[in-house]
Amino acid sequence: MSLDAYLGSKLSALRAQNLFRDPADAAARDVVAATAARLEVPFLDASSNDYLGLAGRRPGNVSRETSPQVGAGASRLVNGGRPEHTALERALADWVKLPEALLFTSGFAANVGTVSALAAEESVVISDQLNHASLIDGCRLARAQVLVVPHLDLAALESALSAARAVPVRWVVTESYFSMDGDGPDLAALRALCDRHRAFLVVDEAHALGVFGPGGAGRCAEQGIVPDVLVGTLGKAVGSQGAFVAGSSTLRTFLWNRARSFVFSTAPSPELCARTLEQVRLVREGDADREKLHHLCSALRQALAERSVPVLASSFGPIVPVVLGTAERALRVADALRAVGILAQPIRPPTVPEGTARLRLTVSTRFTENDVGRLADAVARACAE
């Protein structure tokens, strides 16, 4: 069964119970306002949560055409939909080459809401051991059986899929670029494995979006695979705030109805969405910046290796984990760096497994070659001390 057929059956059940929420209703505000204008009566909005009338405020005395309003005033299902939301969603879907996208207030909200909505009683979810807390919590809130497999272990994943072959619906959930280890799965092999076992693939591209792939479209695009569900965030390489889930039109409609972190959240700021649309354009056009970034990443890894600093061997890209072992040592090294004007966060359990406390170095295009050398020298000295 295809994902659209599976979700379509659930949407049909909602319609039969008169519980279906039509995404087209997001435009109801404009329709009713037009009706009021035709009747020559004032438009009265009795559905917004904008109790003091501040959400619709715009800087100075500017028109709607020149400045979007600050707040949405309500959830998208109630009255919070604005043209800025749909414009950004169209751009995001086009970026990752999927039919549609749905905005969420954060990456955490997107993952928790999506996984918990999709993974119903008749499902099994197979989750990578090092998946982000938002994916883990989504699994915990789901009604499905959850199986955790060792990090990036395709053989273990295949065994889990084989063991679950009698379960009607199987979900494989992974990050494309893991935020603490700076590594990622072979997505092409993962897609082939899911296809062979008729499983659906959910990929969180949070730290890959903007950094990898053509136009920064992520590691799925880089490896030429299409996930069933793609999650992207806007608060990392895009430099804004919020997140989105991309996939089929049926997926978007299903999440509109059933992702609780979407249904029960005030819609993102229209003003922020308008600004984010421009940020997305800049990221898509930023091939020169991406080339510089990856050059600096390689230079830092080489410099650390020359100084015998223990970088996680499987890592690549802008996340450079320096594994130090104990939480005490990680704190001590981070403090030594702060003393010379360098901020590098110590990552300790439970964020990472016991015995793998680390510095999480992140590379930026703001760095120069001299910055890379200074950072490597400082880390080497701090580790030696």
Task: Catalytic residue, from 175, 181, 205, 271: name it.
Answer: 175
φ/ψ (deg, to 5) at 342: -120, 125
Q: Are residues 99 and 152 in the same domain?
A: yes
Q: Among 252, 284, 316, which residue terminates a domain?
A: 284
Which strand ranges, in their side-by-side order, compose the sheet holding 243-247?
Answer: 100-104, 243-247, 229-233, 200-204, 169-175, 123-128, 145-149
- Other CB atoms within 10 Å distance of the CB of residue 130: 20
Look at the chain and report how many structural domains it folds into.
Answer: 2
Q: Among 284, 319, 346, which residue terminates a domain?
A: 284
Q: What is the DSSP string of 19-82?
A: ----GGGGGHHHHHHHHHHHHTS-----S---TTS-TT--SSS--TTT---S---SBTTTT---
Rounded CA separation 375/369 (Å): 10
Q: Among 267, 284, 301, which residue terminates a domain?
A: 284
Task: Catalytic residue, from 207, 248, 269, 315: name it.
Answer: 207
Q: Are residues 143 and 215 in the same domain?
A: yes
- Is there a domain that residue 209 lies in? yes
Rounded CA separation 357/370 (Å): 27
Q: Are residues 230 and 97 in the same domain?
A: yes
Q: What is the DSSP string of 105-170?
A: S-HHHHHHHHHHHH--TTEEEEEETT--HHHHHHHHHSSSEEEEE-TT-HHHHHHHHHHTTTSSEE
Domain, as residue range, for 94: 3-46+68-284
Q: Which helix (H) or strand (E) holds 198?
A: none
The domain that holds 319 is classified in CATH as 3.90.1150.10
What is the arithmetic mean of pLDDT over 74-79? 89
Q: Are residues 210 and 313 in the same domain?
A: no
Nearest Cα residue to 355 out of 321, 382, 328: 328
What is the arithmetic mean of pLDDT over 104-132? 97
Split at pLDDT 50, 70, 90, the class of 60 is: low
Burial degree of 239 (CB within 10 A; 0-12, 13-18, 19+): middle
Lowest mean pLDDT among 1-15, 57-71, 95-109, 131-145: 57-71
Verify whether residue 151 is a known catalytic residue.
Answer: no
Spatial CB neighbours of 298, under 8 Å, sequence gap ≥ 6: none
Q: Are residues 239 and 115 in the same domain?
A: yes
- Is there a domain that residue 63 lies in? no
Q: Are residues 109 and 253 in the same domain?
A: yes
Q: Are residues 141 and 8 in the same domain?
A: yes
- Is there a domain that residue 58 lies in? no
Task: Catalytic residue, from 50, 181, 183, 204: name it.
Answer: 204
The answer on pLDDT for 47 being more than 80 is no
Q: Are residues 252 and 304 in the same domain?
A: no
Q: Are residues 160 and 178 in the same domain?
A: yes
Rounded CA separation 253/246 (Å): 11
- Is there a domain that residue 59 lies in? no
- Is there a domain that residue 62 lies in? no
Q: Is the pTM value of this prediction over 0.75?
A: yes
Rounded CA separation 27/19 (Å): 19
The domain that holds 38 is classified in CATH as 3.40.640.10
Task: Catalytic residue, from 131, 236, 248, 257: name it.
Answer: 236
Which is more confidently placed, 287 or 63?
Answer: 287
What is the arithmetic mean of pLDDT over 87-104? 98
- Is there a domain that residue 60 lies in? no
Verify whether residue 97 is a known catalytic residue.
Answer: no
